[in-house]
Structure 1
C-alpha cells in the first residue's frame, strides 16, 4: 500500500501560498514599503508542513506540537485534521485516526484527497468494503486529478482481500487513465503471473520497460520467472544476470544465486489465487454427492509408493465377483433350506435332535448342500482367476503437485519436455496447477498397449 506521507507533503507544499505582498508608497513615491499579510490558514499550513516533516524524521513530540499550533490558527481547516489522522495512524492509534478523518469529512465531505487517504487507512486496517467506498467517492469528484493513483490503491486493496477479478478491473482502469504509470503496469504484471497467464504478463513487462527509467530488483526477478515458466531459459538467464549486476546486494540477487529464485513474492500471490479458486469451487458445490467405490486393500509396498508421489495405475479395470460374494450367496441358500427343514412335522424334528444328542459318532456324510457350496466356490474362484488374468496391471509414473510446483519446474525435475507433459495430461495454457493434481510422467496410451 502506498505511503501517505509523501502525498501529504506534496499536497501541502503546493497548497502553501506565498504571503500576499502589497506595495505602499510613503513620502518618497519611488521607494515602496513591503508589508507581508499572512492569513491564519497560511500559517496553519506552514505548521502542518513542519509537523509532517518532524513526523517523517521520527520526532513525534515536535510533530504533534506543530500540528496543535496549526489547529489553534485554523480549527476548521480540513488539512489540519487529515494531518492529525496521519499522525495518529503513525503512532498506532487507529481509533483516534478514524475520528480525525471523520471530523475532516464533516467539514468538507467532497475533499477528494481526504477520501482517498481515508480509504487507504481503512484498507490497511482490513476494512475492505469501507475502503472501496471512500476511494470510489474520491474518484467520482470531477475536480480530482489523481484518479489513476486511487484506482491503483483500490486494486492493491482488493489484492489484499483476495478479490483478484476486482483487482484486475481496477488496474485496467488505472492504466487506462495513465497508460505509462510504471507502478500500475508492474502490479498488473504480478497479477497476470499469479494467474499463470505468462503471455499477458510478458506483454505488460514490455510496456513496463518502456515506461520506467529505473528497474527494481523485484521487477527483474519477476521478469526472470515469467520467461522461466515459459521454458525460455536464454532470456530468463539474461534477466537473472541483470539482477546480479545491477543489484548485487539485494535479497532477490542472493536468492537467484542460491536457488534461482525458487519462490518470489509473486509466487505467494499465485498460491493465494489458486486457494481462492478452490474456495469458489467449494462454495459452488451445494449438493453433497456420495460416490460408492469398492474397498481396496493396499499393501505396504503401494503405501510406500504413495508417500513418494508415485502410484500404480490400473488400466481397463473391471470389478470381478469376489469369493466372499459367492460364499454369501451359498450361505443364504443354505439358510433358506434350513428354515424349510424346520417347518417339517414335530416327529421328524425330534428324531433329528435325538440323532444329534446320541453319543455314537458316525462318519461325516457329504450332503447335497455341501456339494453345492463347493461347486459354487470353485466357479467363483475360476471367475476371479480368469478376470485377473484378463485385466492388465499397468504401473505409470506420476507426480502429485505440491506447494510451489509449476509445469516448467516439474519438466526440469524429471527431465521431460514440457510439450510431452501437455499432451499426456491434456493441459492447455495457461497452466493452472492445483495442489493435489496428478500428472502423468509417461504416455498413458503407450502404457495400456503393453
Structure 2
C-alpha cells in the first residue's frame, strides 16, 4: 500500500457568515460618496478563489493565478485569499513564495485553524517536521475547529514521514479517539501495527476498519492478507487474497498476489524503516532533554527520554522508556531474541537481558567491533577467560524468504544481501546457509 501524505490538505474555502459591514469612500467628486459593501467584495473574492483552485486542479496555472489576483483586488485582507495563493505557489513549486503567503495569512488572523493546518502540511512536505507539528497543534487548539481528527491524522502521517513511529501512533490514537469510525486513520493504524510486528493488534484494527467503511480498497485487502499470513492463518489469508483478485483484478496488488503472493508490499517497507529506527535508537547511549508539545499550551515542557533528531517532542504527560527498558520489553515479547548494543558480534542461550548485558560488558575490552547484533539461540564457548564467537548462520527451510529471515532475526535485509552476495529476486533453496553477520568482520577478529 502506497504511503501518501494525502489527504494532507485541500484549501478549505468554507464561506463563513460574512458581516454586512458597509464603508463609505469618495470618488473624484469628493462630495459624492461611493457605497461599497465589504460583504459583497468578500463573496466575490471567494467566488474567484473557487474558480482559481478549480483551474489549478485542471493544471491551468495561468487562469488559476488570474482569478486569484482578481480575488485579491476584491478583498486584499481576506485570509482565504492568501491561503489560496500559498496553495498555488506550493503547486507550482515556489516554496519561498508559499511560505510568505502563509505567513501573510496568519498575520491577518493568527488563529485561523484551516490556514494553520494547511501551513503545517506544507512545512511537513518541506521536511520541516518540528515547525509542521507546531502549526498543526495550534490549529487543533482553536476551540471552534471541527476537523481535529483530520489534523491529528495529518500529524501522524507527518511523523511517519519523519520516521518517528511512537509519535505517529500517539497521534493516530488521538485521531481515532476524536472520530472512532474514521476509516483512513484506522487503516493507517493497522499498517503501523503491522510494521511493528504486532499482528494481533493490527487484526483488531482491521476489523474496526471493515466495520467503519463500505469502500474497502485493494491496499487494505492486501494488508489484511499479509496480517493473517504472518500469523500462520493461511486459510483466512487466502480468502482475503481471493477477494483482492475478484474485486480489484486490474489493481497492482492483485497482480502481485498472483505473481508472488504479495511478497513485499508497502507496509513491509514501513516495517524495514521501523526496524532501522530501532537500530538508530540503540546507538544512542545517553538520554537527551526533549520538548513536549501540546495543542492546549504551546509552552514547552521537558522530560527524560530518547530522541533521534531535532524533532524532540515525544508525548504529553509521559516519559519515553529508556533503551534498557525497551530491551526488556522486547525480550518479554519475543523470548527467543534479545536486542542489545555491544562491541562484538556474539550469540548466547541466556534468557536474561541482564546476563546478556553483563556478557557484552565483559567483552568490550576484547574486541573492537561496534555493531548492534541480535542475540539468538546458539552457544558461546569460554576458553582462557575469552569468548570464541561462532558466526551466526541460518539454514533455509521450506517457506523461508529473505524478508522473513531478516524480520525473524531483526537484521536489515540490505545487510543480508551484502553479506551473502544476493541479488533480486532472491532465489533461495532449501538447505542454503545464510550469514547473519558480516563474515569479513568475523575473519578479521579471528586473525
- Normalising by structure 1, what TM-score? 0.63
| 2:147 matches 1:143 | no
| 2:176 matches 1:179 | no
SS in structure 2 at match of 1:413: coil
Change in Cα spacing, 1:4 to 1:179, as seen in structure 2 (3 Å) is closer
SS in structure 2 at match of 1:399: strand
Q: Which residue of 2 aligns with 1:241?
A: 242
Query: Aligned runs of 1:19-98 on 2, under 5 Å?
Result: 39-98=40-99
Out of 345, 366, 370, the residue aligned to residue 292 of structure 1 is 366
Residue 70 of structure 1, CA deviation? 0.3
Q: Which residue of 1 aligns with 2:316?
A: none
Q: Which residue of 1 aligns with 2:265?
A: 264
> Cα deviation per residue 1:246-291 (whole Å; 9 max; x = unaligned)?
1111111111111111100000000000000011111127997634
Unaligned 5+ segments in structure 1 are: 21-35, 294-312, 322-394, 401-408, 422-429, 442-450
Residue 39 of structure 1, CA deviation? 1.0
Structure 2 Cα separation of the partners of residues 279 and 269 of structure 1 = 15
Residue 410 of structure 1, CA deviation? 6.3
SS in structure 1 at match of 2:284: helix
Alignment RMSD: 3.5
Out of 400, 403, 411, the residue aligned to residue 434 of structure 1 is 411
| 2:389 matches 1:412 | no
Change in Cα spacing, 1:97 to 1:45, as seen in structure 2 (3 Å) is same
More strand by share: 2
Change in Cα spacing, 1:66 to 1:431, as seen in structure 2 (3 Å) is same
Residue 77 of structure 1, CA deviation? 0.3
Change in Cα spacing, 1:18 to 1:66, as seen in structure 2 (3 Å) is farther
Q: What is the total number of aligned residue pairs between the two structures?
A: 310
Do the aligned partners of 2:113 and 2:138 also contact (CA within 8 Å) in 1?
yes
> Cα deviation per residue 1:204-259 (whole Å; 9 max; x = unaligned)?
00000000000111111100000000000000001111111111111111111111
Structure 2 Cα separation of the partners of residues 91 and 160 of structure 1 = 22
Q: Which residue of 2 aligns with 1:226?
A: 227
Query: Aligned runs of 1:21-420 on 2, under 5 Å?
Result: 39-284=40-285, 290-292=364-366, 317=381, 319=383, 398-399=393-394, 412-413=399-400
More helix by share: 1
Q: Which residue of 2 aligns with 1:367?
A: none
Q: Which residue of 2 aligns with 1:2?
A: 6
Structure 2 Cα separation of the partners of residues 224 and 15 of structure 1 = 45
Q: Which has the larger radius of gyration?
A: 1
